[in-house]
Amino acid sequence: MKTSLLAATAALMLGSACMASAEPVKIGLITTLSGGGAGLGVDTRDGFMLAIKQSGRKDVTVVTEDDAQKPELAVQIADKMIQSENVDVLTGIVWSNLLMAVQPGVVAQGKFYVSTNAAPAALAGAKCDPLYFNAAYQNDNLHEAMGEYANKGYKKMFIMAPNYPAGKDSLTGFKRYYKGTVANEVYTQVGQTDYAAEIAQIRASGADGVFVFLPGGMGIAFMKQYAQSGVKTPIIGPGFSFSQDVLPAIGDAALGVKASGQWVKDLDNAANKAFVPAFEKEYGRLPSIYAVQAFDAAQLILSASSKASVKDAKAFAAALNAADIKSPRGNFKFNTNRHPIQDIYVTEVVKENGVLTNKTVEKIFTDHGDAYAKECKK
């Protein structure tokens, strides 16, 4: 669908002012709006569109399409957006396998891609590109934080993730910082919904903790089955497994779970204090980490397009790289590979006024980058 955005509510926290002289920009937002991963894509779309609306920009057009979590469809949509819709910037993909399929064709056609979530290691390192920016993190980051956290109380961990690029980055990141023993390392199918076999492996492993990265419907299914199994080994994970979009479906089985994130709704900064109620007012629910990342991706595009023409690749890239935004995360800047350097927190699932959500427990990393920047030569 095509959404042409007119003047709306005044910006609450955008660093880039609405400029009458700004050159029109057309954005192609490809995300997952159907199937088991739809919740992640809906939050991505809504966070992105909130920033656009708050900007009041009359010269911005967003074209949105559903990739249905299918790489081949995502590639077709991207090509159509570039060749028929004449978009200037693409964004929105949630899943790393889809981004790995789409990104090469986008940059080869001279278009910018600003990622709202997917962040595979290859695109942060040797396959980085001057036209590719990531507004979220690098896949390993939140898992690295939980590896560091696990050192405080777990001697033997069972670790599990889906068998796709982000899943492999997840367990690589966890092991990079975890100093204890890995009892078992298990890769599940993407989209899997039955975890009886894996739960039996956890029961038999002798592990004193379980680290799981299972975003979207996968995490919902696993946590419900785990609660019913009677296994009491504590669960920890990255924020994606326990983000705001899935907590209502998981239910009380998530209470007390420790996770990690570069954003938590209770962060004490002005941008966050404006963002959370604005999102809740607009959509009738609390935002997730996916919504925040997309909000910032939109802010980055808006800021850059107010300072440079998207047709001038060098100037636009420099404007993006300046990261002149007020992020709900707080401190945000780009590393040399155009991936974020940011703080990462440990969180805990709690219930506030009857609503499951996450609260900040501690800051685990300050100004944390990624392990691949040194491999990026472009």
Q: Are residues 132 and 143 in the same domain?
A: no
Q: Are residues 221 and 360 in the same domain?
A: yes
DSSP string covering 126-189: TT--TTEEESS--TTHHHHHHHHHHTTT-SEEEEEEESSHHHHHHHHHHHHH--SEEEEEEEEP
Residue 372 placed within a domain? no
Q: Are residues 32 and 75 in the same domain?
A: yes
Q: How many domains does the chain have?
A: 2
Q: Strand pairing of 340-352 and 258-261? A: antiparallel
Q: Are residues 202 and 213 in the same domain?
A: yes
Residue 371 placed within a domain? no
Residues 293, 31 contacting (CB under 8 angstroms) = no
Distance CA 309, CA 306 (A): 8
Q: Are residues 232 and 361 in the same domain?
A: yes
Q: How far does the chain reach from its first CA to its final CA, in angstroms?
A: 35
Q: Are residues 349 and 213 in the same domain?
A: yes
Phi, psi of 64 (to 5 degrees): -115, 135
Residue 12 placed within a domain? no
In angstroms, what is the C-alpha Rg of the chain?
A: 20
Distance CA 299, CA 326 (A): 8
Q: Are residues 173 and 63 in the same domain?
A: no
Residue 152 placed within a domain? yes
Domain range enclosing 200:
138-261+343-366
Distance of CA 264 to the CA centre of its chain: 13
Residue 7 placed within a domain? no
Q: What is the pLDDT along the chain (378 residues), one digit of tens a residue?
A: 434 333 333 333 443 344 334 679 999 999 999 998 999 999 999 999 999 999 999 999 999 999 999 999 999 999 999 999 999 999 999 999 999 999 999 999 999 999 999 999 999 999 999 999 999 999 999 999 999 999 999 999 999 999 999 999 999 999 999 999 999 999 999 999 999 999 999 999 999 999 999 999 999 999 999 999 999 999 999 998 999 999 999 999 999 999 999 999 999 999 999 999 999 999 999 999 999 999 999 999 999 999 999 999 999 999 999 999 999 999 999 999 999 999 999 999 999 999 999 999 999 999 999 999 999 999
Q: Are residues 224 and 355 in the same domain?
A: yes
Q: Are residues 301 and 155 in the same domain?
A: no
